[in-house]
């Protein structure tokens, strides 16, 4: 599967569940961001290196989402200076800000 297709699916997840399609939404969310365990990983076919499924711009989109599982996943590998740059440049919702401050607290 092409990495852009994966990015498109994750972008669709950031909008939240559609009316009448909650089960399909939940299935897709569980596939890419399981409640327990690690999210799936991918490897490049040419070099067998691990592909970057969540670039910084997609993490920002996930942080701005109202889906808590996406926010938590995006905050796992983000550094404090990166988060500060996101907030200064784009702003994030209050709920995501609270979760990010809890994540960065020692």
Each residue's pLDDT expressed in tens, for the chain with a length of 106 residues: 778 888 999 999 999 998 888 899 999 999 899 888 777 887 877 777 887 888 888 988 888 888 989 988 888 878 878 877 877 777 777 777 777 777 766 6
Contact 70, 33 (CB under 8 A): yes
Alpha helices in 43-93 (DSSP H): 56-63, 68-76, 80-90
B/e letters for 2-18, b = 16+ CB within 10 Å, e = fewer, are: eeeebbeebeebbeeee
Per-domain boundaries in the chain: 3-104
Q: What is the pLDDT of residues 51-64, one digit of tens each?
A: 788 888 898 888 88
**pTM for the model:** 0.78
The average confidence (pLDDT) of the chain is: 83
């Amino acid at each position: 599967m092409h990495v852009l297709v994966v990015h498109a699916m994750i972008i669709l997840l950031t909008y939240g569940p559609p009316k009448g399609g909650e089960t399909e939404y939940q299935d897709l969310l569980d596939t890419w961001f399981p409640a327990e365990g690690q999210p799936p990983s991918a490897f490049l076919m040419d070099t067998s290196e691990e592909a970057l499924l969540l670039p910084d711009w997609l993490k920002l989109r996930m942080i701005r989402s109202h889906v808590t599982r996406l926010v938590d996943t995006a905050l796992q590998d983000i550094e404090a200076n990166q988060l500060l740059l996101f907030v200064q440049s784009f702003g994030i919702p209050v709920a995501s800000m609270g979760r990010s401050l809890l994540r960065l607290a020692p």
